[in-house]
Structure 1
Amino acid sequence: MENILKEAGDKSLDQEFCQKIADSFSSSANRAGKAPLTWEQVRNWFRDKQKELIAGVTSSPAALQLCVDLSDAAISGIAPESVPSPKGDQVNDISELAFEARSFKDHAWYDVASFLTYRVLSTGELEARVRFAGYGKADDEWVNVKTELRERSIPLEPSECHRVQNSDLVLCFRDGLHQAIYYDAHIIEVERKPHDDNYCSCIFTVRYDHDAFEENVDIGRLCCRPTQEGHQQPPLLANGKQTESGDSLCITAQSLWG
């Protein structure tokens, strides 16, 4: 059945396909005298097995090369090297790059203190188990390397407000009822005011990506993405859209997991 699942893929949940499998098994000699299988039983077996495969950690020690796209477009790639998967809860500190990961619990971004292990889902997607800075083992999470992990955002200084432009993606500090955390947001308006390099009086209107809430914030609550850091002014196209950086930095699994 496992081989049939691998060969059939998504087709394994199709009613006609499941009926053929049910008929084939029901007519086999070792099921003589037993109630025939139904196509629903076959489909449920395939569905449960798919869930097990998705949730399970890959048993192959195949290596993974992670490419951190500084334009935030993706983190991807698999390299045919030989890298052993870490075992247990051994924690390896990141020495070369700093990362942040988005928690599935509240959609907020937290600094990553360390990577514990990784797994490859049956879909081919890579997930990493991370420990958040300032949190313990009970708060460890699996995060999708492509969509929930990225290079750490950079706090903005008062003298750097000119870098922030309309439609920019920023990481914004949000003071909630229970805790203060950071969320992705987009700049929708900037009210610029004259000031010196030590204090910024500009007002930035942001819209949070996860709930569309809008509020006015100061520069002290904003962090920029690494693609914006170092640019005196982000280049704009004729249509007003910000250009995307194609720079990328590739690191191997060894540098993340040792």
Structure 2
Amino acid sequence: MPKSRKRKATVPAPPPPRRRPRPRMEYRARSDEAWYGARVVVQQGLLRVMFENSTEDADEWYDPGADFASPGDVDALRARFRQECLPLDHAHCGDLRPGDKLCLAYYIHGEVEELKYYDAVLETVERAAHGVEGCACRFTVRWTEGPRSGCLDKVGIKVVCCVPESPIQDPVLSEFLDDLTKKFGEDQGTATTASQQAAPTPISDSEEELCRVLLSLKRAPKSPTGKS
């Protein structure tokens, strides 16, 4: 019979420190201008946008040296991110007002049916009594993005998400964008200093008067004796 091995007393490892959950956010892709859940990292100075439930070949990259020619380009990228849009709760459909910004699910039919999300603006609400299945109201919306941009549609609550008003707060994204904004500010300051250094030094009143006197003497006609 094999001898039984004695087990050494083990000290339980301390639990790993709790990590703060990364803020959930959405990103409007350059490929189709639809909104997707995403997270970002900075790798070798480049901003990498990684889509939820997508493979690496779908990632989008931003190069500070090639993709940003002005502070406006930085602002445009910042506008592509926002906090996660939450589905409209059945109990809060009465809180919506015309002009509210919404994000709606849109089915694109083709060889493979795809569900994408695009923004729209609420036009009107047809109120209806809530039943067993919840909200039965109908929402007339005007699409501002996607294949139906500019068109009006009437939809139910199942496809409606509410766009948050508060700005996105992601430390990685904020640091990347703030560094770019700071760089453009420094470049502008350097250009202004160089321009000031290259500008001619203004002539004082006394120097200008002396120049006029010398010029008048130079142009004065000489006497027949050769003396001025």
TM-score category of the 2 structures, normalised to the smaller one: 0.5 to 0.7
Aligned equivalent of 1:165? 97
3-state SS of 1:189 partner: strand
Contact conserved, 2:40 with 2:173, CA < 8 A, in 1? no
Aligned equivalent of 1:146? 78
Distance 1:252 1:134, change over 3 A: closer
1:185 pairs with 2:110: no
Deviations 1:98-139 (A, max 9, x none): 000001111110001x3132798xxxxxx8421110101110
Contact conserved, 1:159 with 1:198, CA < 8 A, in 2? no
Alignment of 1:57-76 (within 5 A): none
Alignment of 1:78-227 (within 5 A): 95-112=21-38, 114-117=39-42, 128-142=47-61, 145-178=77-110, 179-196=114-131, 198-210=133-145, 211-227=149-165
TM-score, with structure 2 as normaliser: 0.53
The separation in 1 between residues aligned to 2:59 and 2:106, in whole angstroms, is 22
The separation in 1 between residues aligned to 2:109 and 2:150, in whole angstroms, is 18
Larger Rg: 2
The separation in 1 between residues aligned to 2:116 and 2:168, in whole angstroms, is 28
Task: Indicate the percent of aligned positions where both proteins have the same amino acid.
Answer: 27
Q: Which runs of 5+ in 1 are unaligned?
A: 1-92, 121-126, 228-246
Q: Which runs of 5+ in 2 are unaligned?
A: 1-18, 63-75, 177-228
Distance 1:255 1:201, change over 3 A: same
Equivalenced residue count is: 139
One-letter amino acid of the structure 2 residue matched with residue 199 of structure 1 = G
RMSD of aligned C-alpha atoms? 3.1
The separation in 2 between residues aligned to 1:172 and 1:161, in whole angstroms, is 14
3-state SS of 1:160 partner: helix
The separation in 2 between residues aligned to 1:101 and 1:199, in whole angstroms, is 30
